[in-house]
Chains A and B, each alone.
Chain A
């Protein structure tokens, strides 16, 4: 009996030494719920899909719970959760094409050619809350679309750093790569985004090809003076600033302040995003 008791105690101590739980299920659930809104918006911005963001966030919770006894607290819970979610999103996106830089032009053309598009929006606006058109929300929507033209690793790095405030070391951990590579992805992503906006965005370049902000503002807020509204946008006001990286940072600042699921126009922007996703799923380069 004594021998059995000793063996049991030793066995338990051994197991505790190697599989200690840093937190209880309840503690983890509380932490997860705190991170959930950010996690959900992050996944939405990677996948452009409301359904996928719901599913991936839920999958992340379940996967994390199952692996809770392997969590050592070497990183924060938030970093750990984002790692699981990023891996799930990467698996989900691996076979899917990245979007072209001209995504907003392509989707605009498709929307204009679809007679059901605006009646559907009208119906949404009449029957749902949170459907106001705000330029800042459209800028965020645009940033989500344009970031999907970057290679996936670059898109993930730039969102983690600029929107969700992760440090390079944490991004490397989430991406399961080195800090050096995380820096490379981040730098390349920023350079490409500066270049894309330089060529496209009429808010910062009068020769820019894309005027969707003013166009949509004219449709949804016909009584508003776009030029007056434009002056309220920091990066548009500083359009002549030679520091184009700074303008990009101001764009990220706008995105950071908006919860895509809970803003004045979230339902309208989510509708647009879902529309673009469907167009992109069937888009071939020859369609361009």
Chain B
């Protein structure tokens, strides 16, 4: 995991055999609201402008199919590799893994962290074909913050 300031701006670290992008942001909402947003697959397109669809159930060891606006023609077949309720979610495939982490940092205040590392021995061959994630990561974090804070303010 690369360290990143919680200002909603993504950082990418490039190495020969891997690339890792991360973003972090503080959200004025309870962890459980953010967790619910991150784990309800079919609800994603409603609030997240970077996702076209997620099919499947986001639960440990489950397979999901994700379509992202970053590469709309491609369907990513992913496995939920780790799930610690309201704390950590990891999904990925042979090429890489996406980590979501939540941490309570104050009353009704949660730090959200997201990173994705892609790589492997043949990574240098196709590295240039993979679009940068920074903008999509920032948008993802922003959408999550907006939605979670709206829900949190419900009376």
Contacts and interface: CB of A to CB of B under 8 A. Distances in A.
Nearest to B108: A180
B155 A184 contact: no
Contact of B36 (A168, A181, A191, A192): A181
> How many A residues touch the partner, as a band?
10 to 19
A192 B43 CA distance: 9
Interface in A212-255: none
B154 A183 contact: yes
Contacts of B32: 178, 180-181, 184
Interface in B23-59: 29-33, 36-37, 40, 43, 46
A191 B152 contact: no
Contacts of A211: none
Contacts of A183: 33, 151-152, 154
Nearest to B37: A184
Contacts of A186: 154
B155 A191 contact: no
Interface in A166-206: 168, 178-181, 183-184, 186-188, 191-192, 195
Contacts of B151: 180, 183-184, 187
Interface of B: 29-33, 36-37, 40, 43, 46, 150-152, 154-155
Contacts of B37: 184
A186 B153 CA distance: 12
Interface in A143-187: 168, 178-181, 183-184, 186-187
8 A-B pairs with the lowest CB-CB distances in the bound complex, closest first: A180-B30, A183-B154, A180-B32, A184-B36, A187-B151, A180-B33, A183-B151, A184-B33
B105 to A, nearest CB: 16
Nearest to A190: B154
Contacts of A192: 46
6 contacts: A168-B154, A183-B152, A184-B36, A186-B154, A188-B40, A195-B46
A195 B37 CA distance: 18
Contacts of A180: 29-33, 36, 151-152
A178 B155 CA distance: 14
A30 B152 CA distance: 37
Contacts of B33: 180-181, 183-184
A71 B90 CA distance: 43
Nearest to B152: A183
Given A180-B151, A183-B151, A183-B154, 5 more contacts: A179-B30, A180-B30, A184-B33, A187-B151, A187-B154
Contact of A168 (B40, B46, B150, B155): B155
Contacts of A191: 46
Contacts of B29: 180
A139 B99 CA distance: 45
Given A178-B32, A180-B29, A180-B32, A188 B154 contact: no
A236 to B, nearest CB: 26
A178 B31 CA distance: 11
Nearest to B30: A180
A187 B30 contact: no
Interface in A125-140: none
Given A184-B37, A188-B43, A191-B46, A178 B150 contact: no
Nearest to B40: A188
A180 B40 CA distance: 15
Contacts of A168: 154-155
A34 to B, nearest CB: 26
A187 to B, nearest CB: 5
A181 B155 CA distance: 13
Contacts of B30: 178-180
A188 B43 CA distance: 8
A179 B32 CA distance: 9
